[in-house]
Structure 1
Amino acid sequence: MSKVINILHAGALRLPIAQCSKLFKKANPSIEVILESYGSRACARSIREGNQVDIIALADPLLFDELLVPEYVDRYYIFANDQIVLAYDEFSRGSDEITENNWTEILSRPEVSFGRSDENLDPCGYRTMMVWQLAEKYYQKPGLYRSLNNKCTEAMIYPKSYELASSVLEGNLDFAYIYLCVAKQFGLKHISLPDQVNLSNPAHAAFYQNAKIELQGKHPGEITTVHGAPIEFAVAISKNSEHPENAKVFLELILSKRGQQVLENCGLVPY
């Protein structure tokens, strides 16, 4: 086997990929593991722009279909799912009052800040906007999506969801829309949203389809529309992998029972 493996992954998968990398390194001590992370759409675009990696792990399998298959990836494997939560800590304004039933009112307060990730770089960003659309329908609050979207100004939009969690801990944001696994990794408190809203439950897939967001497409100037769907994470071996043997071993690890236990320990729901 060659002496290197390059892994490109979604920021939200930072801890599970790091933990799986440690297991891989323990079994293959002579191989250097190189990790690189961005928002998932940014990851996919970097592959299209010539970034050569061995493993690609993204926070939305649709990105493989939209941007990577078949030119850069032959096939991908869905390995876990998650949900969007509203995360905070004990210093967040309104944290002593917020509940699943009143979070829309708490976030509307002028002094309360909240953030999301960039929808054109990170699936968590467009999924957050979908959550707002679904919440408007679920709670029957016309104008809720527009109100939340207008209040979440550019200064509160981050390249990837992982950075949102750090910002809450640093006191720059009161609340952040992130994956449950990221909230758990950072030890943040969180509000669980109803299944009809949080994009977690395949039983509500038809309702999720009511939400849609326009994004930058595959080519400059193109626009693509993404509809709501249950949150899933997927992994693949790149067709331009320079170390395919290593990539195959890592892929088998993350899909194995041992890998699934790592994912579960990191807050994901493994498949």
Structure 2
Amino acid sequence: MKSKYSFLICLFLLLSFFSVVQAAENPQRTEVIVFHAGSLNGPFQKIANAYEAIHPEIKVVLEGSGSREAARKVTELNRPCDIVASADYETIDTLMKPEFAKFNVFFARNKAVLVYTDKSKYGNEINEENWYEILARPDVEYGHTDPNLDPGGYRAVLSLQLAEKYYQLPGLYQRLENNFHPTNIVNDGKVIQEKLHAGQLDYFFMYESSAKQGGYHYVKLPEQLDFSSLEYAGYYQQAVLKLTGKAEGSFVEVKGQPIIYGLTLVNNAPHRKEALEFLEFLLTDGQEFMNTAGFIPINPPQVREDEMLFLPVELQHVVKGL
């Protein structure tokens, strides 16, 4: 009888031990929710993994999409969110401020490129001098993301507008538009990849960081067309596109400008304290992951001088006023 009780006690202690271990491995973790541009998928996942390794009590929940779509998840769908990071800082300015955000931190730059694969028609012929001639060929399928959801989409269209001016070829933009099929507007990164590798899409406008991470071949565009240069900021503004606005039925005009990524803390962030701690990490140690992924980090990150008043004290030592 004694040995029977001893066995039960040992079994109870063993089960208790495993319960404690399991609880330790799966503690109640606070979730920091981040809606971000799809082009940030790679580096943000690595930044989140690095942060969670030193903060096991935090779970960083990442949700990538087009930048304008990410903002509208907050402004129109009222989804809980702590941080929004956009591939175009103006998305935060025009869709989120001031009702949903008070400041906008500029933290990275990028450039537009044209990607292709071994399945792409004329892939062995295309180069930096003839890319627009290739896209205008009737048998070529080229695509981009939805301009109303993603800055990458409207930057593609703006690049084509600027190409007509840069190459001094009247009617080029219309030729390229006439050869574009609306079905080639694709927003899902996996679908884009599948279509390119299957030869259903020959070329796709993308950011250089995404092209590098995806292992694509790509054509670099002239600086006057790729939105990478602060020097050509005035030149970029010659291209203009009308997009859907903040209110239903309204429209806004976007002009070409250098690619500058912006991020913000949502006004009613459900986990403000934890989100700010993650943001501090992202804007300091996290910048190395941005650099490795092919972005051009803005170091130190910047914010407009008049927004410094709204910048949380936790970030004031890592962000510089413009």
| TM-score normalised by the chain length of structure 2 | 0.81
Amino acid paired to 2:94: E
Per the TM alignment, residue 172 of structure 1 is displaced from its structure 2 partner at its CA by 2.2
Q: What pairs up with 1:141-152 in 2 under 5 angstroms? A: 141-152=169-180
Give, in angstroms, the shift of residue 161 of structure 1: 6.2
Name the amino acid aligned to 2:138.
P
| SS of aligned partner of 1:215 | strand
SS in 1 for 2:60: strand
* Offset of residue 34 of structure 1: 1.4
5 Å-filtered alignment, 1:224-243, equals: 224-243=252-271
Query: Which residue number in structure 2 is paired with residue 43 of structure 1?
Result: 70
Is 2:47 the partner of 1:32?
no
The residue that corresponds to 1:56 in the other structure is 84
Partner of 1:192: 220
Aligned to 2:30: 3
Question: Gaps spanning 5+ residues in structure 2: where?
Answer: 1-27, 299-322
2:102 counterpart SS class: strand
1:102 pairs with 2:142: no
TM-fit CA distance, 1:159: 2.6
Contact 2:37 2:64 survives alignment (8 Å): yes
1:152 aligned counterpart, secondary structure? coil
CA contact 2:145–2:187 (8 Å) conserved in 1? yes
Query: Are 1:13 and 2:40 matched, yes or no?
Result: yes
Q: Deviation digits for residues 111-167 of structure 1, max 9, x if unmatched?
A: 221101100010111111100011110001111112222222111011356753443
Structure 1 residue 266 corresponds to structure 2 residue 293: yes
Letter in 2 for 1:164: I
Alpha-carbon offset, residue 66 of structure 1: 0.4
CA distance in 2 between partners of 1:163 and 1:45 (Å): 22
Mean Cα deviation higher: 30-39 or 51-60: 30-39
Which residue in 2 is equivalent to 1:70? 98
* Aligned mates of 2:178, 2:252 — CA distance in 1: 22
Task: Kindly state the Cα deviation for residue 171 of structure 1 after the two structures are TM-superposed.
Answer: 2.7
Q: What number of residue pairs does the alignment pair up?
A: 270
Distance 2:182 2:39 in 1: 21
What does 1:83-162 correspond to in 2, within 5 Å? 83-159=111-187
Separation in structure 1 between the aligned mates of residue 53 and residue 104 of structure 2, nearest angstrom: 25
Computing the radius of gyration from Cα coordinates, the structure with the larger value is: 2
Q: Which runs of 5+ in 1 are unaligned?
A: none
TM-score using structure 1 length = 0.96
Q: CA deviation at 1:35?
A: 1.4
Structure 1 SS opposite 2:104 = strand
CA distance in 2, matches of 1:10, 1:210: 25
Secondary structure of the structure 1 residue equivalent to 2:107:
strand
Task: Give the secondary structure class of the aligned counterpart of 1:158.
Answer: coil
Cα distance, 1:170 vs structure 2: 3.7
Sequence identity percentage = 37
The amino acid across from 1:71 in the alignment is: E
Evaluate the alpha carbon distance shift between residue 251 and residue 221 of structure 1 in structure 2; reply closer, same or farther with a 3 A threshold: same
What is the one-letter code of the residue matched to 2:122? Answer: G
Moved over 4 A (4+): 160-163
- Structure 2 contact 29–56 (Cα < 8 Å) conserved: no
Deviation, structure 1 residue 26: 0.8
Aligned AA for 2:37? A
- Residue type at the aligned position of 1:247: A
SS of 1:117's partner is coil
2:211 to 173, 178, 183: 183
Measured in 2, the distance between the counterparts of 1:37 and 1:156 equals 20
Quote the Cα distance in structure 2 between the aligned partners of 1:220 and 1:229: 25
Which digits, 9 at most, give the CA deviation of each residue in 1:216-237, with x for residues without a partner?
A: 0111111111111001111111
Deviation at 1:265, TM superposition (A): 0.7
Residue 286 of structure 2 aligns to a residue in which SS?
A: helix
